[in-house]
Each structure stands twice: as structure tokens, then as C-alpha cells.
Structure 1
Amino acid sequence: MISKNTIDQVFETARVEEVLGDFVQLKKSGSNFKGLSPFTDERSPSFMVSPVKQIWKDFSSGKGGNVVAFLMEHEHFTYPEAIKYLAKKYNIEIEETEQSDEQKQQADERESMYLVSEFANQYFQNILLKSEQGKAIGLSYFKERGFTDETIKKFQLGYCLDEWDAFTSEAIRKGYKLEYLEKTGLSIVKGEKQFDRFKGRVMFPIHSMSGRVLGFGGRILTNDKKAAKYLNSPESELYHKSKVLYGIYYAKQAIAKEDNCYLVEGYTDVIQLHQNGIENVVSSSGTSLTSEQIRLINRLTTNITVLYDGDAAGIRASIRGIDLILEQGMNVKVCVFPDGEDPDSFARKNSQADLQNYLNENAKDFIEFKASLLYEDAKNDPVKRANLIQDMVSSISKIPNQIQQEVYIQECSRIMDISESVLFSTLSQILAKAGKPVSKQSQTTKPLEVVRDTETTKVKVDELFELERKIISLLLLYGTVEEEFEDMVWKENKNGDLVLEPEIQKAKVFEKIYLDLQEDEIAFANDDFRKLYLLLVAKLNEKGNLELDVIMNEIEPELSSLVTTILMEEEQYVLHDWERMEIMVKTKDKSVARLVNETILALRRFLITQKIDELSKKINDSEEEDPRKRLEDIMDYQSLKRILSNRLNRVM
């Protein structure tokens, strides 16, 4: 594990504006920087970076956080990968916490295998571009496929010499151990002899999500019928075929931005589509799609469009992958290319606009796709038709979301011209057999009815959530500010009556909030706000101030995003330049005391209203003959609510 000292040093050194500037074009805007969102398509900048607070906020997508949060969101790094990226950028030596000898050996071995794979990748590229054999055979092949020089370099394509041990000998000469050449599968060792696994093949390096080389795919260029056309690295400590997707490193940003992933079969399909402007594309590398690969895509989007060659037999053989995608709770569409075409050939023959239009117009929902694929064979054969319907309902049963299940049942009923009640009954049987929960809709076999409300839908605001959020906002922005607060206290007048009179008290914002909430024994209802409140009050009590950069590094990502949103709220005024448009915005710091009093009073009134509703419900539900005690309590609370309302109106 990376030591805390290294993590602290990374956070102290890394500058959010420098790191994000590598990914987003930023322009100075007052004390901040602004730019176009890297997560959505937009023309007006909604992305704001604060060097003072060392945080960023994307107002178009709602995302935000510190520098590590950006790398995890944009580059899809894990937390350790983000720390290592920053350490490398700022030349910080990474210290590891104490590990056992076995852990050290495993880590050293894994890193050695990565180094060997990186060397091989560079070696194959150099052979392709600089050797006579590489240029004559490998480079010519890629050029024939229509790949540009830029594409060949971007995807780090290479060539392995058609010699028995050229690569292995060079690697050993450079100091790499044969042990790791064998473990990565780059070399085959038989007794005292060793051979290059990818002899005479063009090379496609396979990268992890973070860009490290895990293994290779190699295509033979001769007509040797005994040799496999494509050969992949064998399973190793680094490379697990079922857990990797070719092209994911190059496609991850586009997938997240487009909120859709195109899934193809081959390496050249990915490269050709990418070169033609369709960058959100990955390949299962010629293997059957696995759950692990689907979950990898699920980190980026919940939408997959599977692209099939125009070969009916091949489509039927690989259709099982659709059910796997559905099981993961993802949305799946299918697009089939014309007969005799595959993604590679079709992309070569069409412009980007025509290709994108074809994908948009021909992507079908999986139910519609299955029906169109198999219906022609089954429509005049009752048995085949029944089997097709059974197969479609079986696919629907894989979907974990019951609402989606029922919508698809309706669609299946329409396409196959069969009653919904029969389909719901069949679905219920399949689910029960699999031990899965059966929806009430399936049990009753009553079709889903959609009732349209003709009245305008009213959005109900969660008042308690907003009030608790406002308290957190006040603590973050003005916790240490000292203000004069007007409180109303009961005092005895000349006639001996108790009356409310104003009294001015000087206190810091966090002290005022803490004491008032303590006095009323108010606890936060929202878990995130409760965690933040306890953390902020503890920090303010302990140190008298908030080191926001330290807090941002300590809290979990969900809370980090919430804090960023609050801290960057007023930056929106700068972002949209409202003053230039003669829209005057009153910032909070011009009336902090009023805001604090208003928020606490509003919270008290809300909780009292809740209490009145609770007591009223008990009176209605109670079997007690004399509910007078509860009525008296309600009247007391009503009286207190009126006092609070008067005070709140006066403050506001």
C-alpha cells in the first residue's frame, strides 16, 4: 500500500489547475479558471477550477471534487492509480507501507512483468517503423487496411520479426529475465531453447483502463493453415482474457461522454471505427463476452450497442452475450451491418456522418432484434414460434429491474401478437424456477396500465434536506466568521409578565449553529449531512478554522462531491457573468447573521410542524377515549409555531 506520507506529499504538491489543465483548456476568470466541460458537449463554459480552494466543479454534469476525484472521474483511475499518476507528474518518490516478504515478491514480480511488456511494446513498434522487414510486411499490411500513420502510432501497433528468437534474444541482451519473458507469454521456453511466441505477426498491444500493457494480440500474415490466424497472450498474472477489453483505454472518455459503448469483435473493427470518428468502441478480442467485461463497461455507462457482422450464423452463435448484458442491469441495443460487411469494412467505405447515421437508424432494441432475426423462420411454424416467444421471455427474465421487465413484456406482446397475460404468466414461472422475486404484475397477470394525469405535475421540495444542506453550507463558507446575532429571550416586564425581547450576542457562526442545535437536541436526518456536520464542528472546535484541502482529502468521494458543490455555488455568478447582463446577485457574505438566524428558525418551525402532524395522526389513530392531553400538546406546539413564524418573518 502507498504510505500516508506519500499521499500527503502528493496532495500538498499537486496543483489542481496544473493537473486539470492537461485535460481541459482553461482560461483565467478572476481568481478562478473556467473551461468547457470534459464530461458533456457544450458551447458555453460551465467547468470551474478554484486554485485557492484546490477544487473543481462541473456545473453541467454536477460532478466535482479535488484533483484525485477528477482523475478518478475523467481517466477512470482507481484511487492508488490516481496517486501514482500525480506522484510521477511531480517526481515524488512513492513509499510503500511495510509488506510481508511474500507481498513484496508478488509486487516485484508483477512490476517486472509490466516492465517486460512495456519493453516488448516499444520493440515491436520500432521493428514495424524502422526495420526493412517491418516496413515491407507489417506496415504494408496496416496501410492496406487503411490505417493512417497517426492511427498506427496512437494504437501502438507493431510487428514481430519472422525469426525464431529475435525478440527474446534482444530482451535478454537488454537485461530482461527469461523468467518474466516466459511468464508474460512473450517467449516460449522448451528446455534450453526459447522462441518468440508472436513470430511473423503484426502486433496489437492490449491496455488496461489506465493504459498499462497487459498482453498482446498477434495476427499472422502468411497462409499457414496450421497456425491460428489470431493469437493472444496466454493467461498470466497481468493478462486475464475474460477481464479485459481491447481499446478500453482509448475509448473510456468517449464512452462516458456519449453515455454509450459500441461493442465489436475484432481489433481492426475498433481501430477503423475510432479512425472514422466513432471513439466509444471496444472489442471482446474475438472471445465470448463475459460478465467481467460487461462490468468494466458498466463503470463508464449503462448503455451498450452490440455491432454484428452481416452474417446470420455468426449472430446466432454470439447472441448469448445479450442475456449477459441484461443480467448486469444494463440497456442493450443491437445493430447489424449489411450482408458481407463488418464494422471495419463498412467504416472504410463510408464517411463519419454516414456511419453515425447508419448506427443511429439501425440500432434496435434487443426484443425487436431477436424478433426480426428469428421471426421469418418461425412465423409459419407454431412450435418454432412458441420457442421463439419462450426465448424472448427468458431474456426479459434476466433483467433485474421489474419495471423494465414489464415494459419489455408489453413490447414482446405487441411484436409477437400474443396476450400480455400469457407472457406475464410465463415470466412468473421462469422467475420462480430461478428463485428470483416475482413482481405483483407477473403474479396477477394483469396488464400494466398507464394512467395519464392531465393536471400539471407538482414537484415537491424536500424542505428538511434543503435546510440541513443550508446549515452545512454556512459552516463551510462562514464557520469562522464572527457576527452579532439577535436572539429573542423571555424577560419579565414592569407588570411582571413574561415577554420576548431582543438580545444581541456576539459569536462565531459555527458556535451559534452548534449551541442552537444542541439546545433543541436537533439531529440531522440525512446521513451525509450528519457525517459532514460532526466532522466540521469537530475541526472548528479543535483548530478554530477549516483546512478545506485537508478535509477534501479525508472524506469519501460522495461527500467530496457534495462539499465541492457547496463551495463552488457562488462561482456560478462569475461563470455566467450576470452583472454584465445587469442582473445583480446578492452574495451570502453580505448578510451572514440573517442567513444563520433564518435557517435555524426555519428548521425549528419545520420540526415543530412535523411534531404537530405526528400528534394529530395519533389522535386520529388512537383508541383512547380522552385525547385531551394530546390536543393540549398540539395547541402548545401551535403557539410555539406562531412565535417562530413571527420571528422568521421579521428576520426575513
Structure 2
Amino acid sequence: MISKITIDKVYETARLEEVIGDFVQLKKSGTNFKGLSPFTDERSPSFMVSPVKQIWKDFSSGKGGNVVAFLMEHEHFTYPEAIKYLAKKYNIEVEETEQSNEQKEQASERESMYLVSEFAQTHFKEMLWESELGKAIGLSYFKERGFTDETIKKFELGYCLDQWDGFTTAALDKGYRLEYLAKTGLTIVKEDSNNPNGARKFDRFKGRVMFPIHSLSGRVLGFGGRILKNDKKAAKYLNSPESDIYHKSKVLYGIYHAKQSIAKEDNCYLVEGYTDVIQFAQRGIDNVVSSSGTALTPEQIRLINRLTKNITVLFDGDAAGLRASLRGIDLILEQGMNVRVCTFPEGEDPDSFAKNNELEDVMMYLNDNSKDFIQFKASLLVKEANNDPIKRADTVRDIVNSISKIPDRIQKEVYIQECAQIMNISEAVLFNTLAQIGKKEDKNVQAQQKEEQKAFDVVRNTPEEKEEKVDVQYLLERKIIESLMLYGNYKEEFEDLVLKENSAGDLVLEPEISEIKVYEKIYLDLQEDEIELANEEFRKMYTRLIEALNEKEDFSITSFVNGLDQEMANQISSILMEEERYTLHDWERKEIFPKSKEIGVAQLVSETILTLRCFLIKKRMSTLQHATEDSTKDNREVLEEIMNYIQLNKLLNKKLNRVLS
């Protein structure tokens, strides 16, 4: 277990905006930061980070919490893993007691797979640097590619010995289970009735140099292995199979090392191979990732979209199937991103070009030869058309079809104008073609919606949808929790209303001024009226908050949230960040300046409690009125109680400046 001293130090040191900034591109928004949700597919920012409160809220998915909660949600870390990740990021030494065998057994399946993958990475590195065969074969290969020792260590490259089960045997000897070696794909298990042990075990990557594939947070998800001997039956490159921790369509090679540079440069270079990424990084260009030879997917694009809106796709000079690769560009456009394309001279690829040229020359080439996707696609397709009118018409349709993928209407129009100039065709024709494509897509969407509606109609229970009622008490109790969190320790002047009988014998509310802390005011008022919060979760939060505010003069939202369990921390974050939702709309830019709640804290708290009182009075009156429906009983006392409540309700509403009908 990790010691409390370490956990406290991690919470004190970690900066939420820095940690989340490694995964999401954040932009300043007043005192907060905003960005695109890392949990849903969206084009408008609904993700808010508060550096002051050290909490975050994702309005599109409903998730929220502190820095540890983010890592647990985003990276699927356990609590100890999140603490260790933060400790490593901020160079904090982790003090922990050794886990027992029983605790190790209780580790989750996913965690067991991660542990196996991390062992494999360490093993392959050791084989590369420490075994004679590893140095002679694997290390020699990397040196021939021009990689320095520093680069090889940075990307944690390795070598799997050319033995049938060398790695598997080493892993089993260390206590790792064959079940997880098979599930990660590191070991191939084949049933064999002739084998006394019942199954034969093979190393999947035997005789290959190894490229570990990391998640955005740096965990080892899988491997890519390149064979070094000439074997026509074996694939040149082999990747880990799909597993619970490795989904190749959702991963980009090099993203862990590139993420900070991508956000800083506000651009991501997209290449095809592992060595392209490594060679660029060695040359000094870090904002490079690879799709690892697979076709680009929407999930991979969204991974980049969290860090930047700009992608530059780098193609080999003689890339086979370049035409097919253009489909990836359409996917990038669909995600609302800006895409440029750069091809290298014939016979060159990103790896060789970076290896054979200095940093300044590489950067100059990229800047001079990166084309807007319209220019690139038009020039490529026009060459193919070769003055054939039919092919030329198909080329125009192809380009307009790409433009139709762009969500932004202004960008669409600009690209249509550019396409008209390049293809020497009227804008009107192109706009008509774009409109036809749009109508066709709309019809397809409508047809799909009709089918979905039919399916919905089959299971619909009631012909009419009922409007959801507003739970007034829930909202008021939520407001009380928010007031305690934000202003609990504020000392304010409150005007209390004391119920007194005047000279005429009527009940009246007389004002009395007192200066006390907000949490004391709320506690005393609720105690006086014997009000207990109805919502069970709010009751728990209320108790914890009153205790914390009473015990600590220096009450801190950050410390309080860090001490809560994940579920309650999420709920507290939702309450605290609800108001921040409106800052996403940039009201100041529209010359609308919302009034800060801190200007009238006493008024806010008093009105909330008074409104809750009025609500509960009306609720009590309704219960009493139902009791009078039985005409066989003597209801005089009940009616008298109702009249008292009516009079009190009038007085409270008068204080709230409300007119009762």
C-alpha cells in the first residue's frame, strides 16, 4: 500500500491543469480552462477545468472530480496507479509497503495484463542491451538505422531472442500466469494431446526487434515486432493482437512522447511507420505520431483532436496506394480538423529524409511543401484525369465530396472557391454539386431516423411523452451544498427574521442583524426548523461539510474533494462546476457581463433557506389539507394549524418580495 505521506504530497504537488493538459488541449476561459471532451465525440468545448478549485467537469458525459479521478476515468487507472503516475510525473518518491501474494492475486485482469506487458518491455530491453545475441543482432539493426543509444532508450526499444519460448519461460519463472501471457498475445498457446503438459507455448515475437506501443499516459498496451531475417512466410511487421488493453484502431504509436510537443506546436505530423516517428524525434521534431501501418480511424483522429486541431499528413515519395490513403483525409475533415499534406521526393520517406538532412532543412522542406488538402488532392487527381473529360468530372465530384465532409460552412465556401480556381470551373456548379451531396446525405439520415423511430414505436409504452417535473427541493438542497462549498467560511451580515407578536396580537417578522459565518447560518437555520435534507447523498455531503468547516479554519475545497470517494467527488464537482457551464458561451465577447455571486453571498444564502422553508410549508399544508377530507373527524385543530402556516408563508414570501395569488 502507498503511504499517506506520499498520497498527501502527490495531492499538494500535482496541478490539475498541467496533468489534464497532457491529454486535452486546454484554452484559458476567465479563471478556468476549457477544451473538447476526452470522453465523447464533440466539436464544441464542454470540458471545464478549475485551477482554483482543482476540479474538472465534463458536461457532455457528466463526469467530474479531482486530478486522480481524471486519470481513473480517462486512463482506467486504479487509485494506486493514478497516485504512482502523478508521483512519477512530479518526481515524488513513492513510499509503500510490499503487497502480499493474496493482494497480488486480487489485482484485476486488466491490471494483470498491464503488468505482463510491462515485464515484457523490461525483458526485451534487457535482451537488447545485455545478451550477446541481442547486441549482435537487435542493437546492430537499430544502429544501422541511425538510432543513437539515447533514442533507443527513450523509445524503450528491445529484442526478442530467436528462441521458441525464451520469453515465455522467463515470464513463467517470474511468476506471471500463462493465462495473461496468452491474453496479451505475447505467447501463443496451442493444445497438443501428445504433450504431457497439455499445450505447447511459443513466443509470438521470436527473432524480432521490438517497438513497445504506449498509451497517452505511458502505459505499455502492446508491441510491434520487425523480423530481421529473410523469411517469405513470416510477416515483416507483426503487431500484438486485439486485447482488453490494446485496440489498434484507438492507439497511435508515439503519442506518449509527442503529446506535449503537439499541444505546444499546435500541429501533429502523421506518418505511417514506427521508424518514421523515431527518426523525426531524433532529428528534433517531436510532434509526430504513426498509425502503425493500419488505415486511419476516427478514434485515432479524435486522439489527436484533443491536443490540436491541425494535422499534417506525411506521405512517402513513391507511396503505393496514395489514392487510397486520401480516404484518411476525408475522415480528418469529418472531425472538423484542419489538414495539410506533404509528400517527400521520389525514393524518400519520412525516416530516410530526416536521417539524411539537418533539422533546419527538414523543417524548411515541410513548411515549403505542405499543401492544403484541396491543392494536394486536385493536383494528384488532375494528373490521373489526363485531359479525359469524364475522369475530370469524376475528379471534381471527388474533391467536392471531400469538401462536403467539413462541418464548418464558412470553410466549405472558402474551399469551394479555391477548388473553382484550381479546376477552372464555375463556383455555381460546385455549390450545386455540394447541395446535391447534402440532400442525398440528408435523405439517408432521415431514412435512418425513420427506421429508428419505427423500432422505438414498437417498444413505446405510452402514446404521449410526459414532461419531466422540476424537483424544487432537490435544486434548493443542491444550492445549500454549493453555498457551503464555495462560501462556507465567509463571514457575512445576515438579516434574520424573528417571529413576534405585535401590540395588535398579530404575528409579524421583525429583522435582526447578526454577523456570522455562512456555514453557521445554514446550520443554525436548518436546526431551528428541524429541517433534514431529503436527498440521501446531499445529507452525507452536508454532514461531511459541516464537520470539515467546523474543524478547520483554513477549509480548502481541493483538500476536501481529495478526501472523498470517487462517486461523491464527482457529485461535488458537478455542483461546483455547474455555473461554469455558462462561461463556455463566452458571454463577455457578446458584451454580457454576468454578476458574480460573491457580490451578494448573504442574500443568496438567505433566499435559498427562505425558499426551502416556503416549499416545505406548502408541502406540510398540502398534507394537512388531505387530512381534513375526512368529514367524520373534528378538524378544528388541523384547520387552525393550516391557517398559521398560511400566515407564516405570506410573511416569508413578503420577505422574498414575492406576490402570492
Q: TM-score range by the shorter chain?
A: 0.5 to 0.7
**Unpaired runs of 5+ in structure 1?**
1-5, 25-33, 49-55, 96-103, 438-470, 490-500, 517-531, 568-587, 604-639, 644-652
Q: Among residues 329, 349, 359, which one is paired with 2:356 in the alignment?
A: 349
SS in 1 for 2:275: helix
Contact 1:116 1:180 in 2 (8 A): yes
* Residue 431 (structure 2) pairs with residue 434 (structure 1): no
1:508 corresponds to which residue?
517
1:523 corresponds to which residue?
none
Q: Among residues 346, 355, 374, which one is paired with 1:367 in the alignment?
A: 374
1:280 corresponds to which residue?
287
Contact 1:64 1:70 in 2 (8 A): no
Mark the CA change 1:539 to 1:72 in structure 2 (over 3 Å): closer, same or farther. Answer: closer
Give me the whole-angstrom Cα distance separating, in 2, the residues matched to 1:174 and 1:536.
46
Amino acid paired to 1:408: Y
| Cα shift at 1:144 | 1.4
Amino acid paired to 1:78: E
2:341 corresponds to which residue?
334
2:96 corresponds to which residue?
91
Amino acid paired to 1:204: F
Pairing 1:2-401 to 2, within 5 Å after superposition: 18=10, 69-70=66-67, 77-78=74-75, 80-81=77-78, 84-86=81-83, 89=94, 91=96, 107-108=108-109, 110-190=110-190, 191=192, 192=195, 193-311=200-318, 313-378=320-385, 380-401=387-408
Amino acid paired to 2:81: K
1:455 corresponds to which residue?
none
| Cα shift at 1:534 | 12
Structure 1 length normalisation: TM-score? 0.61
Amino acid paired to 2:145: R
| Cα shift at 1:483 | 3.9
Per-residue CA deviations over 1:63-87 (Å, capped at 9, x if unaligned) read 899x974467799943645653216
Give me the whole-angstrom Cα distance separating, in 1, the residues matched to 2:55 and 2:357.
37
1:528 corresponds to which residue?
none
Higher relative contact order (CA 8 A, sep 6+): 2
Amino acid paired to 1:91: E
Per-residue CA deviations over 1:416-454 (Å, capped at 9, x if unaligned) read 3343532433333442353279xxxxxxxxxxxxxxxxx
Q: How many equivalent residue pairs?
A: 512
Give me the whole-angstrom Cα distance separating, in 2, the residues matched to 1:93 and 1:318.
51
Mark the CA change 1:78 to 1:512 in structure 2 (over 3 Å): closer, same or farther. Answer: same
Mark the CA change 1:374 to 1:557 in structure 2 (over 3 Å): closer, same or farther. Answer: farther
Give me the whole-angstrom Cα distance separating, in 2, the residues matched to 1:503 and 1:200.
85
SS in 2 for 1:346: helix
SS in 2 for 1:339: coil
Amino acid paired to 2:488: G
Per-residue CA deviations over 1:525-559 (Å, capped at 9, x if unaligned) read xxxxxxx9999989767876566222465667797
Contact 2:314 2:341 in 1 (8 A): yes
Give me the whole-angstrom Cα distance separating, in 1, the residues matched to 2:365 and 2:68.
34
**Unpaired runs of 5+ in structure 2?**
34-48, 59-63, 86-93, 448-479, 499-509, 526-536, 581-595, 609-653
Amino acid paired to 1:263: L
SS in 1 for 2:243: coil
Contact 2:416 2:431 in 1 (8 A): no
Pairing 1:514-593 to 2, within 5 Å after superposition: 548=557, 549-551=559-561, 553=564, 560=573
Per-residue CA deviations over 1:495-519 (Å, capped at 9, x if unaligned) read xxxxxx9985434346889999xxx
Amino acid paired to 1:508: K
Give me the whole-angstrom Cα distance separating, in 1, the residues matched to 2:32 and 2:358.
32
Q: Percent identity?
A: 57
SS in 2 for 1:392: helix
| Cα shift at 1:391 | 1.0
Amino acid paired to 2:517: K
SS in 2 for 1:252: helix
Give me the whole-angstrom Cα distance separating, in 2, the residues matched to 1:157 and 1:41.
32
SS in 2 for 1:354: helix
Contact 1:203 1:217 in 2 (8 A): yes
2:489 corresponds to which residue?
480
Amino acid paired to 1:480: N
2:420 corresponds to which residue?
413
Give me the whole-angstrom Cα distance separating, in 1, the residues matched to 2:518 and 2:320.
71
SS in 2 for 1:434: helix
Give me the whole-angstrom Cα distance separating, in 1, the residues matched to 2:519 and 2:389.
75
Give me the whole-angstrom Cα distance separating, in 1, the residues matched to 2:489 and 2:164.
72
